[in-house]
């Protein structure tokens, strides 16, 4: 009984810590290792770096990293082309139906190296850690259901349903009421 | 105002200034802060006297009946006449409280009035709070003479300065104790603060409203200059960034405009035109970097660029991987941006 | 300590009625604290309204019919509610049973209309602050409506069991009726907030 | 059911039988489930008090951690993220999990005894309240252990606590912990009001109510009028974060300052929710140690009521730097100053009590004297921060930190510690050590003043609050080191207090019924009191019943022994009206609290938790209120 309680507690600790911990300073060697993705030949999908797996995919489930990703999405004007995920001159992100797939490595490569037809490379504008944070956030935009770690609405004029109302695509033309 | 001088001279020893500039309500360097210091002194003296009186009465009450009393001693009977007389004394004490409290309210109200009454055409400076730095914009009747800087406000001595306060993200509070009381910067609301510096000097200011993980390292300095010096300085700020004087600095400019730096920072006269972080056009002319965290030297610039998250964990400046040469060059260049 | 018996309380009733019942006071005190919750929520509403350039903003005004229907149903329910309270005071089991059945129906009916009322607000809670505050006002009142209807239903069921004929139950019915009046009365200021004229 | 003949009266049998039968009827069953099911206000009150003191201990450790970090400039003991969690936890824990609950806990234990009844009104609600409080405390501390501790300050200002700037669930945990503690506090407030209104012993007219009970009555009303404000606030915040409402989003018509209004409309009365019970404790303890009734009973009652009313008119003085209209601010200066008057009335009345008294220098009295010294000083700095212009210099600095610790520790914790020394023998049956007590009082008093007085100066020297570090070139280093070292002395005092409290429970000298020869009713029964409190309900003939009847206590008889019976009296004159029953032990409050906790915690993660979670809550509540056919159900 006691051991089982301890086990539950330990699992809760791991989950809680991973979801909420804030690693404010990423060690430079780790950051460098995070850059070592191995995309497939066609640039869609691929193997994440070993260190990414070893860290437990912190950019997909950690609330702080997702929040930072959302900030970068605004700061680096992803809105300019993708709008709030609804799509404009760039493709929509909210529908989760993406040209190069939803795989994190694929997204990382898209952001870092750019893609044909207008997606610029952010290699020299963002650090590896920031690109990963954006990858994590962009994935939540296209999700079928919100994760509990996903960021919520911003303090600004609302042009899209909040992230925690996923699947957001279905709600895109906001109905007047429920 | 002899009393004022007395109070100030009593309080002054408590207000030792640091080398970053004084940051103390007890070391007033402008009329606002001076009348506040006077008010603090007056309240302290009145309240101190009241407190002392109460303590003396408690002490006397305890001593006058000091004896080896025991819990089991029979309760004392009350003498109605005596209780009535005590009632009168208590009533008098209450009335005295009312009088004192009213008096303090009145002087506080008068002080408020004297603070809001400023004379002369003010210099209008816009101060915008970000997590965790300050953007400073000097306004002018002609829009092409607006100057944007960061983490340092320069003001002319003797002229009132009106700060127009706004916040970009969360609530901050601007507080330069040697010159004025604090005023909050609130998203969605516009606030103002007017103050005057009486003497040239460097006055440290700090964010006083908890604003997140680096609230502690969100400071700035107010530098008061003689009016002509201020005008000359402002003209200097209008100019574009200094051109590199040697090869190393030129290489540094390449790094600053080619690497991630340019995505967030503006260096006027170079391709770097980001608006997310502080304007760096004249960064080396400022006293401190990273919102009052480090003094501006080439060494500290290098340390900051190399490891911003080690110096100020959680701030929004990422650790951009640079080679040793790049770091040396870019810090040399930054140090040249006077 | 030695004791000296100076009063004999054996003649007192086993349960006090009205102000002699702690439950009555408990209900009253709950009404006070919930009332202060309502008052604060209305204060929030008025505060946000005072800041807004136009009201309602960013949305068409709500449709009126569901709100009017709810109000009429609630006000109408006050009559049988008063009767139930009286009958409970007289400890008339048969009439109280009938009354509680009527009150259950009259409690559920406005709840159903309330569902349409949310739709008739013409704004979503996450559209803007106006939407948020009127949804919250309506939801706050609906919560009270649901709890009191739940209470009425349970009491109604209880009156048909062996526990029904008991002075304590009749007291509960009276307190429940009193609380229903509170639920109806708190609706009126909220109604004015939601649907009142724009000059308000 | 219990083998007691039906309708047996205490007039029909001898005293021993009365006590045996009553003990049988009122006792709490042994074992785990018996302990869970109990509704005895003494057992629950004891639990409440112990739990609150555990939170005090934990909060104190957090305080020491902060002092460790701040002892030197550029300290490296805690990082900024952890420091922010620690100071938020310290504030939230001390306010919501210690200060308010401990006062209510003392009332849960003492009020029924002081008004001469056998249990608190709505005892099952009381049990529910404790479980909810415990769940709220566990929520906060477990979250902290999981690195999910709130880091937004105990005041949780938006937008920093809002959806954009507080990622994750840290802020939600803070907001929901408030919901827990407010439910618990509101429940106790309801119980206290009804207990005081309807369950006072026959003859305890309004002018004979012990002053602690008066204080708790006024406090309960403040709780009921102020706490809904924070419930509205925290609910709005959770909705903003969870379902994207816009209460605090200025871009969509919300307002950032709305939060501050709501928070301080609760937050300022909160100070009096903590302070008024403490003044009640002083007024109730003082007679025993000066050997005369307290001076100015009516003035004391009226000043408490006045404080209660005025406390709702000063919330804006926490917002003097937000740029509100000057005229309004001046009004709030005046009202904040005005509250000094009723507070002064209380001080003067106590001094007038001392003046003719014969002081007995025992530990509780030492704490009362420490209270005078520190609280009056804290009141003086309170007058200072009430002034708008002055506040613009000291607001959010260490001056304010010093001020409110003077008011809360000096004004509430010192009386509370005195009260623990004073009522401990009643609760436990044994005395605490007088020798250790003097050390405790001395260490805490001196340690406190050494630790907190310099903070006034630090604040005036420009040190802001809530900073995790400061630079070496600022002149704050030496004083901060002094403060940190002094805090060790304060901590030593508290450690000694806890040692004394634990040790005395086993080995303290037996206390007897009335060790201090106090005048109020709780001392008329044994120490610790039996489950039924009073074998026969006392009849009150004056404001100091045990002094007016030093040999024989007048009592009333005629109550039944086979059911839990209490006397209901009229509100003003305490004329007996009914022999009401008091509920039996029940597990349902525990299940209701458990299901409510699941609902509230679930609603941090999904709004659907409210819908699905309300079903088990409803089942538990129906189980709670469904009659069980016990003698208590007779009418």
Classify each residue of A47-69 as buried b or exposed e, where b means 16 or more C-beta atoms within 10 Å of its C-beta.
ebbeebeebeebbbbbbbbbbbb
Of A39-53, C86-100, D212-226, the poorest mean pLDDT is in A39-53
Q: State the pLDDT confidence band at C198, using cuts at 50, 70 and 90.
A: low
- When pLDDT is averaged across residues B87-98 and rounded to a whole number, the result is 94
**CA–CA gap between residue D434 and residue B73 (Å, rounded):** 18
Q: State the pLDDT confidence band at D325, using cuts at 50, 70 and 90.
A: confident
Neighbours of C161 (CB within 10 A): 11
- The answer, for D360 touching chain B at a CB cutoff of 8 Å, is yes
The predicted pLDDT at position B15 comes to: 45
Q: State the pLDDT confidence band at B16, using cuts at 50, 70 and 90.
A: very low
**CA–CA gap between residue D538 and residue D555 (Å, rounded):** 4
Q: Any idea what the Cα angle at residue A176 is, between residues A171 and A177, rounded to 5°?
A: 80
The DSSP bridge partners found for residue B126 are: B137, B164
The whole domain housing C42 covers 33-195
Q: Domain containing C62 — which CATH number?
A: 1.20.120.80
State what percent of residues in chain B have pLDDT above 70. 92
- Contacts (Cβ under 8 Å, ≥6 apart) of D164: A151, A152, A153, A154, A155, B169
- When pLDDT is averaged across residues D585-614 and rounded to a whole number, the result is 94
State what percent of residues in chain C have pLDDT above 70. 98
| Whether B319 and A31 lie within 8 Å, measured CB to CB | yes
Residue B309 has pLDDT above 60, yes or no: yes
Residue A97 has pLDDT above 70, yes or no: yes
Closest CA to A155 of C144, D255, D52, D426: D255
State what percent of residues in chain D have pLDDT above 90. 88
Query: Quick one: tokens of B243?
Result: 């051109």
CA B306 from chain center: how many Å? Answer: 28
CA C115 from chain center: how many Å? Answer: 17
Q: Which CATH architecture has domain B247-336?
A: Sandwich (2.60)
Between D333 and D591, the more confident residue is D591
Query: Quick one: tokens of B79?
Result: 């003498």
Between D458 and A87, the more confident residue is D458
Of A97-101, B285-289, C6-10, D609-613, the poorest mean pLDDT is in A97-101
Q: State the pLDDT confidence band at B241, using cuts at 50, 70 and 90.
A: very high
- When pLDDT is averaged across residues A113-141 and rounded to a whole number, the result is 90
Classify each residue of D454-471 as buried b or exposed e, where b means 16 or more C-beta atoms within 10 Å of its C-beta.
bbbbbbbbbbbbbbbbbb
Residue D629 has pLDDT above 90, yes or no: no
| Whether C129 and D229 lie within 8 Å, measured CB to CB | no
- Cα–Cα separations (whole angstroms), residue D67 to D59, D185, D422, D451, D466: 13, 31, 31, 10, 12
Instruction: From chain A, pick out residues whose CB is under 8 angstroms from the CB of B310.
Output: 25
Q: 3-state secondary structure string, D12-57? A: CCCHHHHHHHHHHHHCCCCHHHHHHHCCCHHHHHHHHHHHHHHHHH
**CA–CA gap between residue D547 and residue D292 (Å, rounded):** 10
- Strands of the sheet containing D537-538, edge to edge, are C2-8, D552-557, D537-538
D325 exposed, middle or buried (CB, 10 Å; 0-12, 13-18, 19+)?
exposed
| Cβ-contact C149, C184 below 8 angstroms | no
- Convert the pLDDT of each residue in B149-158 to its tens digit: 999 999 999 9
Query: Quick one: tokens of D73?
Result: 């400039």
| Whether C51 and D255 lie within 8 Å, measured CB to CB | yes
Q: Any idea what the Cα angle at residue B43 is, between residues B93 and B194, rounded to 5°?
A: 145
Residue B210 has pLDDT above 70, yes or no: yes
Of A12, A19, A154, the CB nearest to D168: A19
**Helix (H), strand (E) at residue D136:** helix D123-145
Residue A46 has pLDDT above 80, yes or no: yes
**CA–CA gap between residue D487 and residue D449 (Å, rounded):** 9
ipTM of the complex: 0.92
Of A13, A21, A153, the CB nearest to D244: A153
| Whether B313 and A130 lie within 8 Å, measured CB to CB | no
Q: Is B192 helix (H, G, I), strand (E, B) or coil?
A: strand
Query: Quick one: tokens of B224?
Result: 């008061």
Enter the pTM of the model.
0.94
The predicted pLDDT at position D393 comes to: 93
**CA–CA gap between residue D360 and residue C106 (Å, rounded):** 66
Indicate whether A177 belongs to any domain: no
The predicted pLDDT at position D232 comes to: 95
Q: State the pLDDT confidence band at A89, using cuts at 50, 70 and 90.
A: confident
Pairing of strands B161-167, B123-130: parallel
Residue length, chain A? 178
- Convert the pLDDT of each residue in B71-80 to its tens digit: 777 887 778 8
**CA–CA gap between residue D252 and residue D240 (Å, rounded):** 12
Q: 3-state secondary structure string, D578-625? A: EEEECCCCCCHHHHHHHHHHHHHHHHHHCCHHHHHHHHHHHHHHHHHH
- The answer, for D611 touching chain A at a CB cutoff of 8 Å, is no
Of A158, A174, A178, the CB nearest to C118: A178
- Convert the pLDDT of each residue in D523-563 to its tens digit: 999 999 999 999 999 999 999 999 998 889 999 999 999 89
Indicate whether A17 belongs to any domain: no
The DSSP bridge partners found for residue B173 are: B184
| Cβ-contact B181, B143 below 8 angstroms | no
In order, the DSSP letters of D203-218 are: T--GGGS-HHHHHHHH
Between D500 and A173, the more confident residue is D500
Residue A128 has pLDDT above 60, yes or no: yes
Alpha-helical regions (H) of B18-128 = 31-64, 80-116
Q: Please tell me the class of the B123-230 domain.
A: mainly beta
Indicate whether C200 belongs to any domain: no
Question: Domain coordinates of chain D in residue numbers?
Answer: 15-360+512-633, 361-511
- Mean pLDDT taken over chain D: 93
Instruction: From chain A, pick out residues whose CB is under 8 angstroms from the CB of B260.
Output: 124-127
Residue A96 has pLDDT above 90, yes or no: no
**CA–CA gap between residue A139 and residue A127 (Å, rounded):** 19
The predicted pLDDT at position D42 comes to: 96
Residue A176 is classified by DSSP as S
Residue B4 has pLDDT above 70, yes or no: no
| Whether D250 and A155 lie within 8 Å, measured CB to CB | yes
Indicate whether A16 belongs to any domain: no
Question: Domain coordinates of chain B in residue numbers?
Answer: 2-58+81-116, 123-230, 247-336
Neighbours of B72 (CB within 10 A): 11
Residue A172 has pLDDT above 60, yes or no: no
| Whether A176 and C128 lie within 8 Å, measured CB to CB | no
Instruction: From chain D, pick out residues whose CB is under 8 angstroms from the CB of B85.
Output: none
The DSSP bridge partners found for residue D608 are: none
C95 exposed, middle or buried (CB, 10 Å; 0-12, 13-18, 19+)?
middle
The tally of domains found in chain C comes to 1
| Whether D232 and C41 lie within 8 Å, measured CB to CB | yes
**CA dihedral defined by D344, D346, D352, D354, rounded to 10 degrees?**
-120
- When pLDDT is averaged across residues A11-17 and rounded to a whole number, the result is 60
User: Domain spanning D15-360+512-633 has what CATH number?
Assistant: 1.20.210.10
Residue D297 has pLDDT above 90, yes or no: yes
Between A41 and D132, the more confident residue is D132
- Mean pLDDT taken over chain B: 89
| Whether B318 and A129 lie within 8 Å, measured CB to CB | yes
Of D164, D169, D243, the CB nearest to A154: D164
Please state the φ and ψ torsions of residue D584, each to the nearest 5 degrees.
Answer: -80, 170
Instruction: From chain D, pick out residues whose CB is under 8 angstroms from the CB of A155.
Output: 159, 162-165, 248-251
The predicted pLDDT at position B235 comes to: 93
| Cβ-contact D520, D544 below 8 angstroms | yes
Which chains share 3+ C-beta pairs under 8 angstroms with C?
A, D
- Convert the pLDDT of each residue in D415-461 to its tens digit: 999 999 999 999 999 999 999 999 999 999 999 999 999 999 999 99
Indicate whether A8 belongs to any domain: no
Of A59-63, A100-104, D192-196, D301-305, the poorest mean pLDDT is in A100-104
Of A49-63, B227-241, B267-281, the poorest mean pLDDT is in A49-63
The tally of domains found in chain A comes to 1
- The answer, for D253 touching chain B at a CB cutoff of 8 Å, is no
Q: State the pLDDT confidence band at D269, using cuts at 50, 70 and 90.
A: very high
**CA–CA gap between residue D33 and residue D37 (Å, rounded):** 6
| Whether D539 and C33 lie within 8 Å, measured CB to CB | no
The predicted pLDDT at position C156 comes to: 94
Interface of B with D in 62-81 (CB under 8 A): 62, 64-67, 69-76, 78
- Contacts (Cβ under 8 Å, ≥6 apart) of D510: D429, D430, D431
C-alpha distance from D319 to closest chain C C-alpha (Å): 16
Q: State the pLDDT confidence band at A87, using cuts at 50, 70 and 90.
A: low
User: Could you identify the residue written with the tokens 């056998």?
Assistant: D118
**CA–CA gap between residue C113 and residue C110 (Å, rounded):** 5
| Cβ-contact D21, D13 below 8 angstroms | yes
Picking from D10, D19, D193, D245 by the largest number of C CB atoms within 10 A of its own CB, the best residue to mutate is: D245
The predicted pLDDT at position C38 comes to: 96
The predicted pLDDT at position C105 comes to: 94
Between C136 and B75, the more confident residue is C136
Indicate whether A113 belongs to any domain: yes
| Whether A176 and C126 lie within 8 Å, measured CB to CB | no
Residue D294 is classified by DSSP as P
The whole domain housing A103 covers 23-171
- Convert the pLDDT of each residue in C54-99 to its tens digit: 888 888 999 999 999 999 999 999 999 999 999 999 999 999 999 9
**CA–CA gap between residue B40 and residue B37 (Å, rounded):** 5
| Whether B263 and A24 lie within 8 Å, measured CB to CB | no
């Amino acid at each position: 009984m006691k051991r089982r309680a301890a086990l539950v507690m330990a699992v809760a600790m791991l989950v809680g810590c991973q979801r909420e911990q804030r690693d404010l300073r990423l060690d430079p060697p780790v950051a460098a290792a995070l850059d070592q993705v191995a995309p497939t030949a066609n640039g869609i999908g691929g193997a994440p770096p070993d260190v990414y797996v070893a860290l437990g995919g912190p950019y997909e489930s950690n609330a702080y990293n997702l929040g930072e990703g959302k900030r970068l999405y605004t700061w680096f004007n992803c809105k300019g082309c993708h709008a709030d995920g609804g799509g404009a001159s760039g493709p929509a992100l909210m529908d989760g139906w993406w040209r190069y797939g939803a795989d994190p490595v694929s997204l990382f490569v898209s952001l870092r190296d750019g893609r044909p037809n207008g997606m610029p490379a952010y290699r020299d504008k963002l650090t590896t850690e920031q690109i990963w944070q954006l990858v994590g956030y962009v994935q939540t935009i296209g999700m079928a259901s919100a994760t509990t770690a996903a960021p919520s609405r911003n303090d600004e004029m609302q042009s899209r349903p909040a992230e925690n109302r996923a699947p957001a695509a279905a709600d895109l033309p906001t109905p007047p009421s429920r | 105002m002899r009393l004022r001088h007395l109070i100030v001279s009593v309080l002054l020893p408590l207000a030792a200034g640091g080398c970053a500039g004084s940051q103390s309500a007890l070391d007033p360097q402008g009329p606002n802060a001076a009348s506040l210091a006077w008010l603090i002194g007056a309240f302290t003296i009145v309240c101190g006297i009241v407190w002392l009186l109460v303590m003396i009465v408690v002490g006397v009450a305890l001593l006058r009946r000091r004896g080896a009393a025991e819990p089991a001693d029979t309760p004392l009977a009350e003498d109605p006449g005596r209780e009535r007389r005590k009632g009168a004394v208590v009533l008098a004490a209450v009335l005295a409280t009312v009088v004192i409290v009213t008096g303090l309210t009145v002087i506080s109200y008068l002080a408020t009035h004297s603070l809001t009454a400023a004379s002369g055409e003010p210099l209008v400076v816009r101060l915008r709070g970000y997590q965790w730095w300050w953007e400073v914009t000097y306004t002018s009747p002609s829009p092409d003479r607006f100057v944007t800087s960061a983490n340092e406000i320069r003001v002319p001595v003797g002229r009132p300065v009106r700060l127009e306060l706004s916040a970009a993200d969360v609530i901050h509070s601007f507080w330069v104790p040697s010159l004025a009381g604090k005023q909050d910067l609130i998203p969605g609301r516009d606030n103002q603060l007017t103050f005057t510096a009486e003497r040239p000097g460097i006055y440290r200011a700090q964010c006083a409203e908890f604003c997140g993980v680096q609230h502690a390292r969100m400071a700035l300095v107010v530098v008061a200059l003689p009016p002509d010096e201020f005008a000359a300085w402002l003209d200097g700020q209008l100019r574009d960034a200094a051109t590199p004087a040697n090869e190393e600095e030129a290489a540094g400019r390449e790094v600053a405009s080619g690497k991630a730096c340019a995505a967030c920072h503006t260096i006027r006269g170079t391709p770097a035109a980001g608006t997310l972080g502080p304007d760096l056009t004249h960064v080396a002319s400022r006293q401190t970097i990273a919102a009052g965290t480090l003094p501006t030297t080439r060494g500290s610039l290098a340390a900051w660029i190399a490891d911003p998250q080690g110096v100020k964990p959680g701030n929004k400046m990422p650790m951009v991987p640079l080679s040793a040469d790049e770091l040396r060059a870019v810090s040399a260049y930054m140090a040249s941006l006077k | 300590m030695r004791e000296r018996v100076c009063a004999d309380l054996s003649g007192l009733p086993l349960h006090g009625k009205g102000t002699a019942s702690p439950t009555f006071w408990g209900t009253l005190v709950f009404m006070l604290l919930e009332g202060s919750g309502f008052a604060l929520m209305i204060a929030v509403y008025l505060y946000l309204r005072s800041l807004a350039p136009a009201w309602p903003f960013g949305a068409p005004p709500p449709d009126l019919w569901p709100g009017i229907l709810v109000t009429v149903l609630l006000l109408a329910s006050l009559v049988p509610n008063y009767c139930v309270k009286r009958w409970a005071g007289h400890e008339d089991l048969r009439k109280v049973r009938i009354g509680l059945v009527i009150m259950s129906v009259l409690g559920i009916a406005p709840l159903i209309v309330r569902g349409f009322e949310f739709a008739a607000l013409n704004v979503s809670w996450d559209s803007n602050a106006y939407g948020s505050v009127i949804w919250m006002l309506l939801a706050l009142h609906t919560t009270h409506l649901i709890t009191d209807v739940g209470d009425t239903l349970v009491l109604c069921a209880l009156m048909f069991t062996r526990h029904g004929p008991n002075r304590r139950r009749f007291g509960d019915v009276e307190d429940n009726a009193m609380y229903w009046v509170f639920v109806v009365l708190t609706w009126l200021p909220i109604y004015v907030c939601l649907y009142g004229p724009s000059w308000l | 059911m219990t083998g007691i003949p039906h309708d047996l009266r205490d007039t029909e049998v001898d005293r021993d039988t009365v006590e045996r039968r009553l003990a049988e009827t009122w006792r709490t069953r042994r074992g785990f489930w018996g302990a869970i099911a109990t509704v005895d206000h003494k057992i629950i009150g004891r639990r409440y008090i112990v739990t609150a003191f555990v939170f005090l201990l934990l909060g104190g450790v957090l305080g020491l951690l902060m002092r460790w970090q701040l002892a030197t400039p550029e300290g490296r003991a805690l990082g900024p993220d952890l420091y922010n969690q620690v100071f938020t936890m310290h504030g939230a824990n001390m306010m919501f999990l210690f200060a308010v609950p401990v006062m209510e806990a003392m009332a849960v234990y003492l009020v029924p005894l002081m008004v001469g009844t056998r249990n608190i009104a709505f005892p099952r609600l009381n049990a529910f309240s404790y479980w909810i409080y415990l769940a709220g405390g566990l929520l906060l501390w477990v979250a902290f252990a999981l690195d999910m501790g709130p880091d937004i300050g105990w005041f949780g200002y938006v937008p920093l606590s809002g959806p954009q700037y507080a990622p994750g669930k840290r802020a939600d945990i803070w907001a929901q912990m408030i919901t827990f503690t407010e439910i618990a506090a509101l429940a106790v407030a309801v119980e206290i009001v009804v207990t005081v209104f309807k369950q006072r012993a026959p003859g305890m007219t309004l002018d004979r109510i012990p002053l602690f009970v008066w204080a708790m009555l006024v406090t309960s009303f403040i709780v009921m009028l102020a706490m809904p404000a924070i419930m509205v606030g925290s609910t709005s915040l959770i909705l903003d974060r969870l379902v994207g409402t816009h209460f605090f989003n200025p871009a969509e018509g919300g307002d950032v300052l709305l939060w501050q209004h709501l928070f301080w409309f609760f937050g300022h009365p909160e100070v009096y929710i903590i302070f008024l019970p403490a003044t009640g404790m002083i007024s109730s303890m003082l007679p025993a140690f000066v050997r005369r009734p307290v001076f100015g009973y009516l003035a004391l009652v009226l000043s408490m009521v006045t404080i209660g009313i005025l406390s709702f008119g000063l919330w804006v003085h926490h917002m003097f730097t937000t740029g509100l209209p000057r005229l309004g601010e001046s009004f709030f200066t005046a009202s904040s100053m005005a509250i000094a008057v009723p507070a002064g009335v209380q001080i003067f009345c106590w001094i007038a009590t001392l003046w003719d008294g014969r002081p007995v220098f025992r530990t509780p009295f030492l704490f009362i004297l420490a209270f005078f010294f520190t609280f009056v000083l804290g009141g003086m700095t309170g007058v200072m921060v009430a002034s708008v212009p002055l506040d613009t210099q000291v607001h959010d600095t260490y001056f304010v930190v010093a001020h409110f610790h003077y008011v809360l520790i000096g004004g509430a914790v010192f009386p509370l510690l005195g009260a623990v020394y004073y009522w401990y023998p009643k609760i436990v049956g044994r005395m605490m050590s007088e020798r250790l007590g003097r050390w405790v009082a001395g260490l805490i008093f001196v340690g406190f003043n050494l630790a907190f007085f310099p903070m006034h100066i630090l604040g005036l020297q420009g040190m802001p609050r809530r900073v995790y570090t400061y630079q070496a070139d600022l002149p704050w280093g030496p004083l901060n080191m002094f403060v940190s070292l002094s805090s060790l002395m304060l901590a030593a005092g508290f450690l000694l207090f806890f040692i004394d409290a634990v040790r005395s429970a086993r080995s303290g000298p037996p206390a007897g019924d009335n060790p201090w020869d106090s005048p109020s009713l709780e001392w008329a029964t044994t120490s610790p009191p039996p489950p039924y409190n009073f074998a026969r309900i006392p009849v009150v003939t004056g404001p100091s019943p045990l002094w007016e009847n030093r040999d024989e206590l007048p009592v009333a008889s005629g109550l039944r022994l086979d059911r839990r019976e209490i006397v209901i009296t009229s509100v003003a004159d305490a004329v007996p009206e009914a022999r009401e029953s008091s509920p039996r032990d029940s597990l349902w409050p525990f299940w209701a609290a458990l299901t409510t906790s699941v609902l509230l915690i679930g609603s941090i993660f999904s709004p659907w938790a409210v819908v699905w979670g309300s079903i088990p809550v409803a089942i538990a509540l129906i189980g709670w209120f469904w009659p069980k056919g016990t003698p208590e159900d007779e009418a």
